[in-house]
Structure 1
Amino acid sequence: MVDQMQKTLTEIFSALLRLLTGPDYELRRRSLISISKLRGDMAADLIFERYQSDNLEDYLVLAVSRMDPKKSAPILISALSDMHLEARLTAAETLIKQRSEESVSALIATVEAYLKEEVAGKKENLLAEEALQGIVRALGGIATPMCLALLRKLILQEKNERVRATVVGVLGQHINDSMIPMFQGLLSDKDPRVQANAIEALGNLNKNTTVGILQPYLYDSNPRVKANAVKAIFRFGDFDVSSTLKEMLASHEKNLRVSAIYAIGEIKLEPYFKNLLGYMKDGDPDVRRNAVVALRKFQKKDFAIQLIPMLDDPAPEVRLQAAIGVGELYQEQGVQPLLKRLEKEPAPHIRSNLATIIGKYGKEEHFPLLLPFLNDEDDRVIGNVIEALQKLKPKQPHSGAVTSLRRFLDSSNNRIRANAIRVLWEWGFTDVLDALLKLISGDSPETIMSGMYCIGEVFSLVSHENGNMLKTFDGILKTAVEEHRKKFIAKGGAIGDSKVRGLWESSQSAIKAGKLKDARKLLEQILKVSPNLHQVFVALGELSLREGALDEAETNFLRALSISPNILKAHYALGQIYHRKREWLKAINSLQVSIRLYPKLPQAYLILAEAFEMENRWQESAETLKRLSSLVPKNLQVLQRLTRSISLAGAVGDAIPVARAAAAIGPVDAFTMLIMAVGEHFSGASDKGFVNLMGVLGMLAEKPDGRSLADTNRLSKIFQGLISRKGKAPVPG
């Protein structure tokens, strides 16, 4: 049985390594995620090597989250000087936990680069909204004076409301007296989320002097703002909180009543307990739901009896909150009423949540009572039932459960199959590896992805046990990697010789220290010993690119790709080179390959769009910018570029709402303003259109721009044609 397991594992690792070097981004990423869950020395080395050649910041995240930080540190330190902004950012964020000076400095430098504006108002560096919010939280976690100053600067410069609200919330955790004027100013912000977070921040000062500042917001028109004012003020005393709550509860406006009930739960105001019981019988499900949530937040077991009848409420969202409350307050005692509800619950999403709650608070005695629910018709329910069974399972295999779980090994649902494998593996059934090998050996990408996901779960279990099994797995992986490297070295694609590895590491240290001439000499020494190492050609290409030697850089990157055709760094660098050389068709090809290999690189989309524009391929430029806009939403530069491309593609009607979205963020360029003027004209607001048109003329007169003038001239001819059609509005394309 052991020999069969080792044989199967060898084949699994060989398959994963083949996928790891393939052209499909998702399969490469998933294969490395699976391997990263095996927390052995070989997995760490493999991830570091793969990072150096592929450079996807996703790998950094998974390496740090699933491996020993000491083993992942070299990856992160190496990435701090990477050519890609996203890689530097992610490396710095994850190193924050280690609080090294190097990582903190890198994160600050990345943020400063983002905040820096070019002369034409264009940002040099683009960041996805989630990445920027990650920066904000990282800065708040470090909380040095420099980090807090950057957060204050972000509040002033950032236009994205969600990001600004996040900044206010994070900075509010570190509020001091010197920040009071700034937060007072934010109380007048146009976005209620920012206002509400500013109120909460001022409450964090824990000084009764803030009561006078916050009291006017008890009478604000926005329910969320009022509710947060109630929360912030009540810690110092009543100060009209009770009267405000009474008014809100008596209001005919539902949102005010719902917000008041939320506030009661937050401040745990027991005199309103009877009010909550009354609102649990309200005719509106939103009111009942918030009343249940508020009652739960009191965290008093005596109150749980009031929640059990709500398990039969007609509204699904109320039943769900009641189930959560019964579980939290009654815990093990709440399992029986929850099982009873599970038998008759019609909503699949609530059945799945009931199973999860039972698994959290149940005991081994409840294990057989859950088995019948494996026959549920909904996959979400089955997946959650298996997870609950895993938590409640006895030490020895339950024959009925084993039979039921084995039938899920052929399930088309990834999560169900993975959960079933998990339980069977923990009971000692190692033959599940055979089923997984079959999955990743097929031709369907979806099936392969599913198999790798399940393999990762097995690796995670083995790592968690951290015993002889982990050593066995890591040893088999090491053998598989060595065999894979032998094949790769034969093609010149991997660093195998210890002397070569030493030269390589010295060259990387020289690059990091800014000693580029020394680095070049070391890299050239490597080529004398191993003339076909793609990593060396990529490194030489990057050095040439830094020095502006575009032809030499191009030659090196092309040489690297002739050895290994799926190197993201080389394709992206070639795209940049061809863009600078104005070889647009070559730039388009290289950048499209870069995006196919790694679809999350904002700068690649930006220069690809420009290459399309230079070839007058406006429709393709617009499609590229639309994809970029989904990565970096509410970015002024991207929206203006998108407005331009859509318009010059002939779909003026589609460009108008994009132009308006850009104008809502900040001052726009002449072209975007011209599109807005057209929109105002055809929507019947000719006066506004005329004002915008005068603004365009003013911009062009003050700062003549050949490209803008040419585009405007072309667009004006389109508009003349539209207007000549007796005022018909432009039709969306």
Structure 2
Amino acid sequence: MSLYQYAREGNVERLRDALGSDSAAVRKRALELLGELADENDQASIDAIMRAAMGDADEQVRGAAVDALDAIGPDAVEQFLAEVTGSKRSEADWVTAERFARALGAERPELRMAAANALGRLGEPSTLPAVVEALSDPDPRVRLRACQACGAFADPRAIPALIERLEDDPRVRRAAANALGGIATDRALDPLIDLLDDADESIRRIAASALGKANNPRPVEPLARALGDESAIVRNAAVYSVIELLSNVPTKHSHDVRDRVVSELKAADDETVVEPLVEILTQGRQTRQRRNAAWILGRVAEPDSEVAVAALADALADDDAQTAQFAATSLRSLGGTTVETELLGRLDSEHPDDVRAKAVFVLGAIGGQETLNRIEELTNDESKAVRKRAFSAVSKLRAGGV
């Protein structure tokens, strides 16, 4: 039976047995699964993981053991540190944090790794200088976890040292980029702009994802270039960040950014842009981002894009009135047969009156003879809002020569 099957069954005993395997890869994977399955009451697993952290012949396995203890919880990490240092565990948090900070200077790299993990979790401000210093540790496994801890602190004081780690081992570079993205000040994000051209796909994705947090329009054009990235995950991250940037940028920059965003997105491949915009509109949880997605779709999607039109038509029923209004104006901007057909299907009484009224409003601007015939029937609708829109739409369509 495989380790995966043992994990599915919750068989931690078999996973502990796998720690005696001759294969380092098997031992490492068993530790990763134990970290996911065991809890702080599973002392047998914690003891087995601590033995691996202190005695396994393979450094990657020892590192996996440290991370497994961290995944189980703070008590497991403290047990490990107490076991190695001989310290007491019944201390105030700040005392514990100071002890962990001292452990960053320990001879055993596994102890330094565990200390960095623990300090990131505790977040005691007084220990940040020690964590920043650990970014220069001779062991890349320690530097990796120090980067992750700095990301948890999200303190701008770590920025210069994190920037230096962008030239490090690949895993450390990724952790440093993630940490800078978590700090998210303009000073932290600026170095990530250059990483959009990095050879490492993961680095490009991290940079693209983080740059949407900027408070200035500088990342717009670099993110727009990333819309042509060979990697789909990088392109997707870039679209999300462009929308986030538009949502977060200060008001004084908003008009400039909005114009540049539309210009750059129009120049990109339609499928690359439309799919994530539709996902933001239909599944997003942040109102401002969904509003912007609804607004931009009307300016960058093709009029015959069925997925965009359907998403905008669905958004006519959105709980947020401004999102619904942006969806209506975007449908009007797109126009065409696809929009007309979609909205004619929204006129039936099974749809909410406000949706029907918005559909009539759009159809009054884009419809043809079939639309005119259908809307004329609605001048006797039971809904006052629908009737009002219907009379106005009929008038516009006739005035337009329909």
Distance 1:433 1:480 in 2: 29
Distance 1:299 1:397 in 2: 32
Distance 1:462 1:379, change over 3 A: farther
Matched, 1:303 2:158: yes
What is the match of residue 605 of structure 1?
none
Q: How do 1:31-430 residues align onto structure 2 when only pairs under 5 Å count? A: 165=38, 186=41, 188-191=43-46, 200=74, 218-220=81-83, 233-235=91-93, 237=95, 246=102, 249-252=105-108, 254-268=109-123, 273=128, 275-311=130-166, 313-329=167-183, 331-343=185-197, 345-393=198-246, 397-398=259-260, 400-405=263-268, 407-409=269-271, 415=276, 425-427=294-296, 429=298
Q: How do 1:515-594 residues align onto structure 2 when only pairs under 5 Å count? A: none
Distance 2:182 2:69 in 1: 32
- Partner SS state of residue 377, structure 1: coil
Measured after TM superposition, the shift of residue 246 of structure 1 is 4.5
Distance 1:328 1:390 in 2: 18
Alignment check: 8 A CA contact 2:281 2:293 kept: yes
Distance 1:419 1:348, change over 3 A: farther
Distance 1:369 1:477, change over 3 A: same
Distance 1:235 1:282, change over 3 A: closer
Q: How do 1:471-482 residues align onto structure 2 when only pairs under 5 Å count? A: 476-477=345-346, 479=348
Q: Which has the higher contact order (CA 8 A, sep 6+)?
A: 1
Distance 1:191 1:291, change over 3 A: closer
Distance 1:403 1:195, change over 3 A: closer
- Unmatched 5+ residue regions in structure 2? 1-6, 10-32, 50-67, 247-253, 283-289, 332-341, 352-402
Distance 1:256 1:318 in 2: 18
Distance 2:133 2:300 in 1: 57
Measured after TM superposition, the shift of residue 359 of structure 1 is 0.7
What does the per-residue CA deviation read over 1:539-583, in whole Å, with 9 as the maximum and x for residues that have no partner? xxxxxxxxxxxxxxxxxxxxxxxxxxxxxxxxxxxxxxxxxxxxx
Distance 1:321 1:461 in 2: 41
Alignment check: 8 A CA contact 2:163 2:191 kept: yes
Q: Output the amino acid matched with 1:235.
A: D
Distance 1:479 1:255, change over 3 A: farther
Alignment check: 8 A CA contact 1:187 1:198 kept: no
What is the match of residue 661 of structure 1?
none
Which stretch has the larger CA shift, 322-331 or 424-433?
424-433
- Partner SS state of residue 136, structure 2: coil
Distance 1:429 1:296, change over 3 A: closer
- Partner SS state of residue 224, structure 2: helix
Distance 1:216 1:265, change over 3 A: closer
What TM-score results when the alignment is normalised by the length of structure 1? 0.30
What is the match of residue 76 of structure 1?
none
Distance 1:242 1:431 in 2: 54
- Partner SS state of residue 116, structure 2: helix
Distance 1:188 1:470, change over 3 A: same
What is the match of residue 251 of structure 2?
none
Q: Output the amino acid matched with 2:183.
A: L
What TM-score results when the alignment is normalised by the length of structure 2? 0.50
Alignment check: 8 A CA contact 2:315 2:327 kept: no
Distance 2:189 2:143 in 1: 23
Q: Output the amino acid matched with 2:106.
A: A
Distance 1:371 1:310, change over 3 A: same
- Unmatched 5+ residue regions in structure 1? 1-127, 131-159, 169-185, 203-213, 438-450, 483-733
Distance 1:467 1:329, change over 3 A: closer
Distance 2:101 2:187 in 1: 34
Alignment check: 8 A CA contact 2:131 2:150 kept: yes
Q: Output the amino acid matched with 1:429.
A: G
- Partner SS state of residue 401, structure 1: helix
Q: How do 1:652-667 residues align onto structure 2 when only pairs under 5 Å count? A: none
Measured after TM superposition, the shift of residue 466 of structure 1 is 5.0
Q: Output the amino acid matched with 1:219.
A: A
Measured after TM superposition, the shift of residue 358 of structure 1 is 0.8
Q: CA RMSD in A?
A: 5.0
Distance 1:277 1:265, change over 3 A: same
Highest Rg: 1 or 2? Answer: 1
What does the per-residue CA deviation read over 1:697-722, in whole Å, with 9 as the maximum and x for residues that have no partner? xxxxxxxxxxxxxxxxxxxxxxxxxx
Q: Output the amino acid matched with 1:356.
A: S
Measured after TM superposition, the shift of residue 352 of structure 1 is 1.4
Measured after TM superposition, the shift of residue 357 of structure 1 is 0.9
